[in-house]
Structures are given as C-alpha cells and as structure tokens.
Chains A and B, each alone.
Chain A
Amino acid sequence: MLPSSVHAFRLGASKPACQRIAPFAFRSFNASAFVADEKEPETPEANGEQASSTEIENAEVEPIKLSRRRRKFHEWANGEGKRYKEASQGTKNYLGQTPFPMNPLFKPVLPLSNAIREKIFQQYTSDPTTWTVRKLATEHNISLRRVDAILKLKAQEKQMESQGFPLQSKFLKGMEKLIGVQQSDRNLTEPLIHIQPEVKKPKYQIIDEDSDFTPEASVNNDAAKVLNRKAFSEVQKSQLIEELRAKGDKWKAVEQEKTQVLPAQNSKETNKRFGFLFVDTSVHGKKEPMVRQADGTLRSAQTTEYAKKMIRY
C-alpha cells in the first residue's frame, strides 16, 4: 500500500506547456529575439514538466488525495496498528485484554501444549489398564472427551509418521508461539463431564394463590412429584444411609433405614378373603393407590395392580 505522503497520480486532461509553446517556436523565426525572451521563462517549466512526464510512463498526471477513511487506516497501520503487523513471539497479541473489544465476555482459554499431549499419550500407551481415560482426565484436569480426542489425534499422528507423512513441527512451534501457549504452565482446566441441559416444554402446576410450592406446605405441591422424580427427602435419606455404610457405621445405617416409611402392619386389619385397593382422596392425603393386603400389611400399590382400573379421583 502507498504511504500517506505519496499521492496517487492519474492521467490529467491538461496539455503540457511544451505543446502550447510549440506553435510559437515555428512562427517566431523573424521575431526570434522577442519570442525568445517570452519563451525563456516558460521553457524551464516545460522542461520540468516534460521531465516529470518522462519519469512516469504516460502523459502528464495530476496528484489526487486518498479518501479520508483510507488515510486514517494508513495512519493506524503505521501507528497504533503497527504492533499487530509483525508477530510478537511467545505471547498472545490481542487488540486489548480480550480479542474482541466490544465483547469482554469472550475470554479465550489457551490450549494445551504439545508436550502435555505427548505426555498423556505416552502415559496411556505405557500402561492402558492403569492409565485409563478417566484417570488421565483427573490427573491433567481436563474432560473425558478431550482426553479421547488427544489420544485419537496422537494415534493418528504416529500412524501418519510411520506411513511417511512429514510432521509439520514448524507449523506447530510457530502457532504455539503466536497463540501464547506456555510450555510448562497448564492453561486449560475443565470438569470431567459437560452436562448439557435439555430444555423441554415448560410444566405448569396449578396451586392455590396463598400456598407455597414446597412439599412441607402440601403433599401435592411437590416439584419431584410433578417431574416424576424421587422426593427430595427420600433422596437425602438414602444418601445418608449410603454415607453411613461407606463409613462403616452399620448400626446407624440400619437405624436410619428403620426410620424410613415402611408399609404399615396392623394385625387387627386382617381379612381371610379380601385385599383392598383404595386411594386416600383427602386434602392432605397421598393421592396414590394403596393396598391393604389380607394379612394386614398396608403398602402402596404397584402399577400393574391399578393400571387396568380407571381411577379418576
């Protein structure tokens, strides 16, 4: 690109002065002294213009200015923008703190260096049974998918190398310098698994105006029930039991299990012939089918037991 000091030239419409003077030259033989005086001050001009026009290929040209915007660009390219022209080795060279000044939320994470990736592959190949994908991921603080990808790429690399493909190590080194990947530092850290939320249609539950949507307020106002999931209290209890078992506190675990809601037993409610399938439709009752067995056991009904019957309470 032309620097701003040089003006662009283009062919002009005006004739060179020599052309204007030429007819004079032919006619001035008789009155040559008079014409010569007039000519002399003009000839240097003519010569000068002729000389410049011979310098540039075609006929005489007029200088034009670049547009204001283009001039501003050149000012920037030679001033503030000069630091972006040549690559700054070893460090990243963004426009500001982040690559996009208008979007500070985009903070690029520096990728892993090739040395770390080689190490991961070397660990895996040395002993795949101990260095599983999960162990590698936890060791290097990256996700399982990324470990998979690294192993895949490195295996491909080794295979290509054996087949005679020249590895582009100059490209790798150059890019690592430009991106600013540090050899020793661990730049990229991420969780093991990425959980993508699956957004479905919104669920609506009609509740009373003054009531809260918690299981404490009312048995029906339970989010777990609406979403067909295990109730939170039950989840907590089972987690506690697991923890106690893991610790080794068997007796406490058994106690906790006993406090869980078990099917009730009432020896007075035995019946020789019938078992009863019913639903407690009272306001604070569980609106789920229950079974009173012949031996007096009270339990919740299984799906197969009531599915066929149309219970419309």
Chain B
Amino acid sequence: MRTKPVHSLSRKLIRMSWNKYNLYNMATRDRAPNLATKTLFQQKWIAKRETRAYHGDELTEKQFKRVFNPKLPTVSNMFSTGKDSEHPQVSVLTYAELERRLDFIVFRSNFAPSIAAARQLVIHGKVTLNGKKMPYPTHRAKDGDVISVDPTAIGTLKGELGTELDFTPKPFSQPFLFVPEYLEVNYNTCSTVFLRAPMSRPGRTEIPSPFPPEMHALAYEYYARSK
C-alpha cells in the first residue's frame, strides 16, 4: 500500500510522468545519491528502489522478477578509440524488455501524460495493434508491430469526433517530449511502429532513464542475485 503520494516531495522518487511535481523532483535532484558510505546491500537496495520507481512502477516485485532476464547482450570495447566510441556498461539494458510493453510504447510515443494514463488507454480499448484492438497493457510488441491510438483518447487533443482536433500541450510537459530511437511515430494518424529492442550504442544509452549506468548496474546485481 502506498503510504506517501506518488509524486511525494519528501521521497522525491522520479516517475514516468509529465506531472509538474515530478519535473520539480527531477530538476532538484541533479546528482545521483551518495552511495560511498553505504554497505553493498544498501547500495543495491537504493539503486533498485530508485530505478524501479521509474522503470515499471506499476509492476509488483513478483511480476518484475518474472519479466527480468539476467542475460544481456554484451558488446566488447576492444576496438573503441575514445570515450565517445566506448559502449556504456551493458547493465543500462536491464530494463530494456519493459520497453516492449504496450503501455510503455504509448507513453514513449507521447500519446499519454503518464504510464498510468497510458495503461488506462490500453485497458479501455483505445489502442490497436496491427489493426486489431489490444486491451492488454502487458502485451509485448514484436519488431515491426504498428500500435495505433484513437485520437479522441489523447489528452492533448480536443475537439469533435471525426474532425481534425486542436492540440494544446500540457503545462510543464515539454521537458519530457522526445522520441526514443527504437520507435517511429506518425502523429498524423497517432500510430507508432516498434522497430527493435533497445540496444547498446557507443557513447550513449537508448533507453530514456533518469539514472546513470552505475545505478542500473547495482539494480541489475540485486535482481540477478535474487533470481
């Protein structure tokens, strides 16, 4: 049971949401937590707590442990020439498989203001997969699947059904507006294609995450051990 609000100003957990309190929490936490004085378990626990609050908050621990895959596609840095061409640690892909979920795809394509809202869109049947209605937010999309959303269900669009709708952006939402590389979005038809699973890239990460790779590595260690 949640004892504190989702966007609590005291806990300052960062969530997958365009909420202005979430933006404030993100803006005021510009440094990763100082884990130097903590024991190894404490470090892993804190990393897991913070990263899981963002990645898959709506999944329970049991559900996440079922989804978690300890095998990650490692890339060698033997032929890299500098910091820019060096791949980050493979643990940045810990939460890669979550990005295949329908509710995640709807949120990442900027059709919903939060994961919870995206989840609701899917459950209410406003989302189609390759033309067919798909009301399961846990459904994992395959490479090349086309995910479409009903325009009237999108919060930023207002107007009559069957007409071109007016677009009014939500306040404090622009800092969150970007499209990851593994999605191809067409806003004309409110459709997205899921291209491929996020992968390791030299000098950058493909998965949008507020946390540095070190925290992902610790969270990965926590889950790999407990599995």
Chain A residues in 8 Å Cβ range of B189: 153, 156-157, 160, 165, 167-168
Cβ-defined contact, B24 with A77, below 8 A: yes
A162 smallest CB distance to B (angstroms) = 12
Cβ-defined contact, B187 with A171, below 8 A: yes
Cβ-defined contact, A146 with B210, below 8 A: no
Cβ-defined contact, A178 with B185, below 8 A: no
Which B-chain residue is minimally distant from A85 (CB atoms)? B171
Cβ-defined contact, A196 with B24, below 8 A: no
Cβ-defined contact, A168 with B165, below 8 A: yes
Q: How far is the CA of A167 from the CA of B164 in the complex (A)?
A: 6
Contact among B32, B73, B167, B211 for A198, CB-based, below 8 A: B73
- 9 residue pairs of the A-B complex, CB under 8 angstroms, read A77-B24, A100-B208, A102-B210, A105-B92, A145-B196, A148-B144, A173-B167, A175-B110, A179-B179
Chain A residues in 8 Å Cβ range of B151: 168, 171
Task: Scan A288-303; emit 1 where CB is below 8 A from any B CB, else 0.
Answer: 0000000000000000
Cβ-defined contact, B30 with A168, below 8 A: no
A200 smallest CB distance to B (angstroms) = 9
Interface check A99, CB cutoff 8 A: yes
Cβ-defined contact, B21 with A73, below 8 A: yes
Cβ-defined contact, A106 with B165, below 8 A: no
Q: How far is the CA of A16 from the CA of B199 in the complex (A)?
A: 69
Chain A residues in 8 Å Cβ range of B71: 199
Chain B residues in 8 Å Cβ range of A156: 146, 186, 189, 191
Interface range, A side: 35 or more
Q: How far is the CA of A165 from the CA of B210 in the complex (A)?
A: 38
Q: How far is the CA of A176 from the CA of B110 in the complex (A)?
A: 12
Interface check A190, CB cutoff 8 A: yes
Known contacts A84-B175, A153-B189, A166-B162; is A194 also within 8 Å of B196 by CB? yes
Known contacts A108-B208, A174-B169, A197-B75; is A168 also within 8 Å of B164 by CB? yes
Chain B residues in 8 Å Cβ range of A149: 144, 184, 193, 195
**Chain B interface residues toward A at CB < 8 A:** 9-10, 20-21, 23-24, 26-32, 71-75, 88, 92, 110, 143-144, 146, 151, 154, 156-157, 162-167, 169, 171-181, 184-191, 193, 195-197, 199, 203-205, 207-213
Which B-chain residue is minimally distant from A86 (CB atoms)? B171
Chain B residues in 8 Å Cβ range of A86: 171
Known contacts A101-B27, A152-B146, A197-B75; is A169 also within 8 Å of B92 by CB? no
Cβ-defined contact, A168 with B188, below 8 A: yes
Interface check A58, CB cutoff 8 A: no
Interface check A111, CB cutoff 8 A: yes
Chain A residues in 8 Å Cβ range of B31: 102
Cβ-defined contact, A145 with B29, below 8 A: no
Cβ-defined contact, B209 with A100, below 8 A: yes
Q: How far is the CA of A236 from the CA of B11 in the complex (A)?
A: 59
A123 smallest CB distance to B (angstroms) = 17
A226 smallest CB distance to B (angstroms) = 17
Cβ-defined contact, A166 with B143, below 8 A: no
Binds B, one of A34-42, A88-96, A252-260: A88-96
Cβ-defined contact, A170 with B10, below 8 A: no
Cβ-defined contact, B179 with A170, below 8 A: no
Which B-chain residue is minimally distant from A159 (CB atoms)? B189
Which A-chain residue is minimally distant from B151 (CB atoms)? A168
Q: How far is the CA of A99 from the CA of B26 in the complex (A)?
A: 10
Q: Which 4 A-B pairs have the closest CB atoms?
A: A149-B193, A108-B178, A174-B167, A172-B187
Contact among B144, B154, B180, B184 for A150, CB-based, below 8 A: B184
